[in-house]
């Protein structure tokens, strides 16, 4: 067999480096590539074009324009950002004749047979802005379209308003029905007027002689609302705030009330503040005929500025309300921009000073702040490394990532309800699989012990309820996927789902002091053994097909890793007096022995465990190292020596063949589908550089190797002392 190398040995993270140095290099590379950044806040205008639950935009042209005639067309235009050139799968449903243009070039035109069907389109996105135009025509049988990501939860793309007039806004703009065809389809950002078309929704500006709160909320006698801006001051000279109020008003600077008026009138106050940024809050009450205010800062050394970076906004003010006057509101509770304001009428978030313009949060970081199952393991690895090496800054990074998601859970549920699909927490806000909740939920419970995380308690309850009461089960109680991500995945049971459920159940049992969740974890692992364990080679089949009532008999490396990983997590907490402890321990030992037998010649395990010609795969290698190291350290393995050798050989293989000097991790299989053939895993399921399915488990493998070595040293020392 021809030797396979991911890189030249000269650039490897050689075995001469200490384990600590290797772990820190991998961890620091990941953090440096994915710095801590807040969400992107964008203006979203009141628009008939919204996302559906699958994160695709719905163009309900017949509802928008009931008068549209056959042959007339509506154009919809938006842009999408790409970090690099790549091909991406989109999904287009034609509800009548539809043509799709990408960067000015027609990429698709529907035939009569393709109307009312889903069309998968692989489009080559270019680095930077990509402009999309849909030409939606009234046909004989319908009119409209649904368009967007073909990978809803992994890549829930949101589109941006494409014109220079609306720079920074989220959403599509569109024309009214027209007879003629556009002479030139827009392919880059420009002024809307230059296209020769009027584009909607129209921007509604506040007139200077109107109260802006009446413009935003209407007349709401008996209600109040809040406006928030900041003063950026470069001088210690007094500042003048001057303007008028259209109803009762209170004005605060840095929480201190400086002005109050019980009716309409003039505002003219002087304030001195230190150099820097300062919060200005106006509490405005609706009068009998109007409400709101005008306020100007008179100074050459200071200016009003938007209090949070909101893209697409033209005013320095954000507005929150309306609230019944008898409700006590503490505006500072909402200045973190992660909390929906709840009142007896309706829940609300911040608005702009234009009618119908909401502020929304979007996750635009590639990884930081994202909630998904591979990141659950990635951050688990970072957290354990940081704890072992006393790196408080890494612990803070992990906790901040998790709290980015947990603190915005309630907001994301509200956003989903308002707009069809949330711009943030796309998986957490719409749990419909174990992938959506279990792995990251287990991490969340573990991290919550480091410091209380906002929202974590309620989310844990939600996930527990989903796993115990909502996830599909067979008659014997085994978890399975009645509905999969694709129709091919319907009615299947995956090794992967042990890690997507068991660690969370164990964490929730500790959190609630309820041992029944441990019992459920035990039950699931033993049920999965019944369906997927292959006795003759002591390995697991990746998938069991429920409808066909047979396992695939494919020994995919990471699939086996998920199960041995989960067994390890269970044995760490399962009392030895538990009625199923002997059975679980025997399963672990038999399975570990099977994995030991198929370790590759370079210390790594292969993508297909029983096929040494398949590529050396880093994530399953790391999972087996982790499981073996725990087994040695906790005494689950009687004959330790072969496993210690396997651990050291595996770690040496990783550091010489799969981790380079910069801390890049190679050879991690990308996310998978499944097959009854090993050929799919070997030839059609490639590895990816720095894939999050592998980084964290590499860190866990190194950490557990380090802990195991320390435990063996202590054991020898104790023997010598004895």
Same domain for 218 and 269: yes
- E-only strand ranges, 486-580: 492-494, 533-534, 539-540, 543-545, 550-551
Give me the pLDDT at residue 411, please.
97
Same domain for 72 and 21: no
- 1 lies in a domain? no
Domain boundary among 338, 362, 386: 362
- 552 lies in a domain? yes
- 202 lies in a domain? no
Give me the pLDDT at residue 280, please.
96
- 671 lies in a domain? yes
Same domain for 246 and 151: no
Instruction: Supply 386's token pair.
Output: 């940081």
Same domain for 451 and 309: no
Beta-carbon-side half-sphere exposure of residue 181 (alpha carbons within 13 Å): 7
Same domain for 345 and 274: yes
Rounded-to-integer distance, Cα 544 and Cα 462, Å: 28
SS (H, E, C) 413-435: HHHHHHHCCCCCCCCHHHCCCHH
Same domain for 22 and 46: no
Rounded-to-integer distance, Cα 394 and Cα 33, Å: 14
pLDDT band at 16 (very low <50, low <70, confident <90, very high): low
If you average pLDDT over every residue of the chain, what do you get? Answer: 94
Find all residues with CB under 8 Å of 581, minimum gap 6, and list them. Answer: 574, 575
Give me the pLDDT at residue 216, please.
87
- pLDDT tens digits, one per residue of 64-98: 999 999 999 999 999 999 999 999 999 999 999 99
Task: Count structural domains, the chain.
Answer: 3
- 205 lies in a domain? no
**Which residue range is the domain that position 338 belongs to?**
212-362
Same domain for 347 and 384: no
Question: Quick check: 114 pLDDT over 90?
Answer: no
- 197 lies in a domain? no
Same domain for 461 and 389: yes
Tell me how far CA of residue 230 lies from CA of 9, 131, 234, 294, 306, in angstroms: 55, 35, 13, 15, 6
SS (H, E, C) 236-302: CCCEEEEEEECCCEEEEECCEEEEEECCCEEEEEEECCCCEEEEEEEEEECCCCCCCEEEEEECCCE
- 351 lies in a domain? yes
460: CATH? 1.50.10.10
Same domain for 381 and 345: no
- E-only strand ranges, 118-246: 118-125, 128-137, 145-149, 173-174, 223-233, 239-245
Same domain for 663 and 565: yes
- pLDDT tens digits, one per residue of 251-296: 999 999 999 999 889 999 999 999 999 999 999 999 888 899 999 9
- 491 lies in a domain? yes
- pLDDT tens digits, one per residue of 621-668: 999 999 999 999 999 999 999 999 999 999 999 999 999 999 999 999
Which helix H or strand E contains 637, and what residues bound it?
none
pLDDT band at 344 (very low <50, low <70, confident <90, very high): confident
For strands 223-233 and 276-285, give the pairing. antiparallel
Q: Which residues pair with 124 in a beta bridge?
A: 87
Rounded-to-integer distance, Cα 168 and Cα 185, Å: 21
Same domain for 326 and 397: no
345: CATH? 2.60.120
Domain boundary among 153, 174, 189: 189
Q: Any idea what the Cα angle at residue 103 is, between residues 98 and 108, rounded to 5°?
A: 30
Question: Quick check: 2 pLDDT over 60?
Answer: no
Domain boundary among 344, 362, 380: 362
Average of pLDDT values for 524-547?
98
Same domain for 18 and 90: no
Rounded-to-integer distance, Cα 606 and Cα 616, Å: 4
Instruction: Supply 366's token pair.
Output: 């590639």
């Amino acid at each position: 067999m021809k030797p396979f190398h991911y890189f030249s040995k000269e650039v490897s993270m050689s075995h001469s480096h200490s384990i600590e140095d290797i772990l820190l290099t991998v961890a620091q590379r990941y953090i440096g590539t994915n710095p801590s950044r807040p969400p992107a806040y964008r203006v979203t205008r009141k628009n008939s074009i919204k996302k559906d639950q699958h994160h695709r935009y719905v163009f309900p042209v017949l509802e928008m324009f009931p008068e549209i005639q056959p042959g007339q067309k509506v154009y919809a235009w938006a842009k999408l950002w790409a970090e690099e050139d790549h091909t991406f799968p989109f999904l287009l449903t034609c509800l009548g004749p539809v043509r799709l243009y990408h960067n000015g070039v027609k990429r698709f035109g529907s035939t009569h047979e393709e109307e009312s069907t889903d069309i998968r389109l692989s489009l080559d996105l270019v680095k930077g802005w990509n402009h999309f135009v849909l030409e939606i025509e009234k046909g004989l049988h319908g009119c409209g379209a649904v368009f967007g990501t073909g990978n809803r939860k992994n890549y829930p793309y949101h589109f941006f308003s494409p014109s220079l007039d609306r720079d920074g806004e989220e959403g599509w703009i569109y024309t009214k029905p027209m007879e003629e065809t556009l002479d030139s389809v827009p392919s880059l950002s420009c002024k809307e007027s230059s296209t020769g078309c009027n584009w909607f929704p129209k921007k509604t500006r506040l007139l200077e002689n109107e109260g802006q709160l009446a413009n935003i909320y209407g007349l709401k006698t008996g209600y109040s609302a809040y406006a928030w801006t900041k003063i950026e001051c470069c001088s210690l000279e007094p500042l003048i705030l001057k303007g008028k109020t259209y109803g009762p008003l209170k004005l605060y600077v840095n929480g201190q009330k400086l002005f109050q008026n019980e009716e309409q009138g003039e505002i003219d106050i002087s304030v001195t503040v230190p150099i820097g940024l300062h919060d200005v809050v106006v509490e405005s009450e609706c009068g009998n005929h109007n409400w709101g205010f005008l306020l100007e800062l008179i100074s050459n050394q200071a200016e009003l500025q938007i209090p949070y970076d909101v893209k697409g906004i033209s005013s320095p003010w954000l507005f929150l309300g309306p609230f019944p006057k008898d409700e006590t509101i503490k505006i500072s509770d909402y200045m973190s921009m992660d909390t929906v304001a709840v009142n007896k009428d309706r829940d609300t978030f911040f608005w702009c000073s234009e009618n119908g313009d909401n502020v929304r949060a979007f996750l635009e970081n590639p990884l930081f702040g994202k909630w998904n199952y591979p990141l659950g393991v990635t951050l688990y690895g970072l957290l354990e490394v940081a704890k072992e090496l006393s790196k408080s800054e890494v612990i803070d990074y992990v906790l901040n990532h998790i709290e980015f998601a947990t603190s915005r859970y309630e907001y994301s549920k509200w956003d989903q309800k308002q707009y069809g699909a949330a711009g943030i927490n796309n998986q957490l806000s719409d749990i419909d699989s174990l992938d959506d909740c279990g792995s990251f939920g287990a991490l969340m419970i573990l991290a919550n012990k480091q410091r209380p995380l906002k929202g974590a308690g309620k989310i844990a309850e939600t996930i527990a309820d989903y796993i115990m009461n909502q996830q599909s089960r067979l008659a014997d109680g085994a978890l399975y996927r009645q509905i999969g991500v694709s129709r091919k995945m319907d009615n299947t049971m995956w090794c992967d789902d042990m890690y997507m459920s068991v660690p969370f159940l164990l964490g929730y049992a500790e959190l609630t002091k309820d041992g029944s969740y441990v019992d459920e974890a035990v039950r699931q692992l033993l049920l999965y053994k019944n369906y997927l364990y292959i006795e003759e080679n002591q390995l697991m089949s990746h998938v069991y097909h429920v409808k066909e009532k047979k396992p695939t008999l494919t020994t995919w490396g990471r699939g086996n890793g998920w199960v041995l990983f989960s067994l390890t997590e269970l044995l760490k907490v399962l009392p030895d007096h538990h009625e199923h402890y002997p059975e679980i321990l025997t399963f672990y030992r038999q399975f570990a022995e099977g994995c030991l037998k198929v370790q590759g010649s370079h210390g790594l395990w292969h993508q297909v465990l029983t096929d040494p010609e398949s590529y050396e795969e880093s994530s399953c290698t790391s999972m087996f190292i982790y499981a073996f190291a725990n087994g040695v350290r906790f005494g689950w393995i009687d004959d330790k020596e072969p496993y210690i050798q396997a651990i050291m050989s595996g770690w040496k293989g990783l550091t010489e063949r799969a981790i380079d000097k910069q801390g890049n991790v190679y050879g991690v299989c990308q996310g998978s589908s499944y097959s009854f053939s090993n050929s799919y895993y070997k030839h059609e399921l490639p590895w990816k550089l720095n894939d999050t399915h592998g980084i964290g488990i590499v860190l866990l493998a190194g950490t557990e190797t380090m802990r195991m070595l320390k435990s063996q040293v202590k054991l020898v020392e104790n023997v010598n002392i004895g």
